[in-house]
Amino acid sequence: MSAMYTDTQSEFSSSDTHHFVAESRTSVDDVAARAAQLDHDFGALSAPARLRHLQREIGQGIVLTTGFGPESQVIVHLLAKHDIPIDIVTLDTGRLFPETYKLWEDTERRYGLRIRAIYPRHEAVETLVEKHGVNGFYASKEARLSCCYVRKVEPLSRALAGANAWVTGVRGTQSARRATAGFVGVDREHKVIKVNPLFDWSRDQVFEFVRKNGVPINSLHDKGFASIGCAPCTRATRPGEPERAGRWWWEAGDKKECGLHLGHERPV
Ligand code: SF4
């Protein structure tokens, strides 16, 4: 974990969430070998076939994390339509848009499923707010990363506890950083195979699928929001801006992430 998280991370660095897998999991090298094989296989498969293949190969312990972006909604649709049993989890930071909670409810109703919610540890939120203030993330990058750590990164460790594979909605064209993710890699932080079944989809492909299949998506997309995260840290984008320009828009640089997708490495 990065040293820049130290002010709040220290409460968790020796917690059970960081050593839960060490003895019981296959070695990272074994995980990397399986990831490399899956990455090779995925290139020739459709998105639903990738998910089916993953489920056949890995079996139990596959987790999709969703922030209710259109990509994750497509994956949820495919899982439901093809009856592929994968655990669907969301990290509720407590700072989401009302529209996102509505979409969460609509998605469960549409597909007849329950999405497992993981919440931040309340003691950590209390410490964070006491130190930085309720909207302290605007004051410095350190404070912003601390908030993302408490509300997203640490809860992700609990979401992936015991998992063998982690499915995400990451696409290669979302940002320069994500362009290197590939279909399947290894998240060495959580010691899981990380799977991006829509890695080679364009944004247009995603929205065409959504339209053709009536997949529910966030109503904020109609108001110019391209990538949607926590409400205080997301704005609508202007025409021509990069897809993720509305996330943490007050920070300089084009490599802005909350930390969820920074542990990924391509198969070796
Ligand atoms: S996106 Fe903003 S509100 Fe959400 S966890 Fe990160 S800093 Fe906190």
Q: Which two tokens stand for residue 256?
A: 């802005």
CATH code at position 209: 3.40.50.620
Residue 13 lies in a domain: no
- Residue 190 beta carbon below 6 angstroms from any ligand 1 atom: no
* 167 lies in some domain: yes
Q: How far is CA 210 from CA 75, 138, 146, 204, 219, in A?
A: 11, 34, 34, 10, 13
Chain centroid to CA 94: 16
Report the pLDDT averaged over residues 246-264. 73
Structural domain contains residue 199: yes
209-228 tens-digit pLDDT: 999 999 999 999 999 999 99
The CA 135 to ligand 1 mean position distance, Å, reads 9
**What would the two tokens of residue 191 be?**
């010691």
Q: Confirm whether 131 is domain-assigned.
A: yes
CA of 261 to the centre of ligand 1 (A): 15
Determine the distance separating the centroid of ligand 1 and the alpha carbon of 138, expressed in angstroms.
10
Mutate to test the pocket of ligand 1, among 5, 151, 260 (most ligand atoms within 8 A of CB): 151
Q: Decide: 93 in ligand 1 pocket, CB within 6 A.
A: yes
Instruction: Give the confidence band of 268 by pLDDT, cuts at 50, 70, 90.
Output: very low
- Mutating to test ligand 1, I would choose from 97, 135, 137 the residue with most ligand atoms within 8 A of its C-beta, which is 137
pLDDT at residue 259 in the model:
65
The answer to whether residue 1 is domain-embedded is no
Residue 9 clears pLDDT 80, i.e. is over it? no
Q: How far is the CA of 137 from the centre of ligand 1 (A)?
A: 7
Judge whether 140 and 125 are in contact, CB under 8 Å.
no
Residue 151's domain comprises: 26-265
**Model confidence at 3: pLDDT above 50:** no
Count of structural domains, the chain: 1
Q: Which protein residue's CA is at the shortest distance from atom 6 of ligand 1?
A: 148
Q: What predicted TM-score, i.e. pTM, was given to this entire model? A: 0.86
Q: Buried b vs exposed e over 133-152: b needs ≥16 C-beta within 10 Å?
A: eeebbeeeeebbbbbbbbbb
Instruction: Note whether residue 17 is domain-resident.
Output: no
Query: Is 137's C-beta closer than 6 angstroms to any atom of ligand 1?
Result: yes
Ligand 1 probe mutation, 68, 91, 95, most atoms within 8 A of CB: 95
Query: Is residue 262 very low, low, confident or very high in pLDDT (cuts 50, 70, 90)?
Result: low
- Which two three-digit tokens encode residue 265? 């490495």
User: What are all long-range contacts of 226-231, with beta carbons under 8 Å and residues at least 24 apart?
Assistant: 227/69, 227/174, 228/67, 228/68, 228/69, 228/97, 228/100, 229/67, 229/258, 230/93, 230/95, 230/96, 230/151, 231/95, 231/96, 231/97
- CB count within 10 Å of CB 120 equals 22
Residue 109 resides in a domain: yes
Question: Which pLDDT score is estimated for 255?
Answer: 61
Is 19 among the domain residues?
no
Atom of ligand 1 nearest to the CA of 231: 3
Active site residues: 258
